[in-house]
Amino acid sequence: MMFKFRGAAVRLVMMRADDLGQLRVQIDGIDKGTIDLFKKNRVYEFSRLFDNLGDKKHKLLVTVLGSKKSKSKGAGIVIDALQVAEKRSQETDRPLIWNKWKNKNAAQAAGGAFRYSGKGSVSVTFEGTSVQWLTAHGPGYGQADVFINGVQQGSRLDLYAPVQQWQVPVEFSGLPRGTHTIEIRATGARNVASTGNVIVVDGFLIPADYSE
């Protein structure tokens, strides 16, 4: 399967199950590795992100290898969606408006750095119908409120987790086509199990259309 798209990053959304096999991904003729979709318990929306591609036209080739783990009941694959990033706004990009944030380097973060705050806010204006906020979950993180065009999106988000997790996407979709502004606010609140109240902004992914 060949997909043509324009953007700096792309996320391949798949399914894992006990009857699925393996596939290979190539972008612009460069091998991006083999993905094994076998999983004893079915998992929907399993994804793999390929970034730092350059904001230009690309070709993504998915090859069904016909191979599988010995425990798998089949060698087929399931691709659910392809999410293409038209623009990836890093935490240091000028279009982002910051208030009371600190910068810190981390090899596991997107671009090798992130920003954090326990009482700040950040906003970015974008064109499109959806946006992904890249954040982190961990034992020392607090809670955040998210607003799009001034309207709070669901309930307060808790970024606490017992184990550190980097580049966690939080997606907001179903927006009407046009210009929107997303704002992330650190509330200062935290889970009773958390050791801190800061939240992390590692960047934003703004998906664009793609063609098969």
130 and 202 both lie in a single domain: yes
Instruction: Per-residue pLDDT tens, the chain, 212 aa: give them.
Output: 888 887 778 888 899 999 999 999 999 999 999 999 999 999 887 888 888 887 788 999 999 999 999 999 999 999 887 777 555 566 666 567 888 899 999 888 877 889 999 999 999 888 778 888 999 999 999 999 999 999 999 999 999 999 999 989 999 999 998 889 999 999 999 999 999 999 999 988 876 544 33
Kindly state the greatest CA–CA separation across the chain.
Answer: 53
If we measure between CA atoms, which residue out of 77, 178, 74, 55 comes closest to residue 126?
178
Plot region of 65 (φ>0 → left; ψ -120 to 50 → alpha; else → beta) = alpha
**Number of independent structural domains in the chain:** 2
193 and 121 both lie in a single domain: yes
CB 30 within 8 A of CB 38: no
Show which of 22, 52, 86 is a domain's final residue. Answer: 86
Q: pTM above 0.75?
A: no
How much is the pLDDT for 1? 84
Show which of 56, 86, 116 is a domain's final residue. Answer: 86
Query: In this structure, what CATH number is given to the domain that contains residue 13?
Result: 2.60.120.260
122 and 204 both lie in a single domain: yes
73 and 109 both lie in a single domain: no
CA distances from 109 to 11, 32, 105, 112 (A): 17, 20, 8, 5
Beta partners for residue 71, in sequence order: none
What is the extent of the structural domain holding 64?
2-86
How much is the pLDDT for 13? 85
**Neighbouring C-beta atoms of residue 151, cutoff 10 Å:** 7
Q: CA-CA-CA-CA torsion for 186, 181, 89, 59, nearest 10 degrees?
A: 130
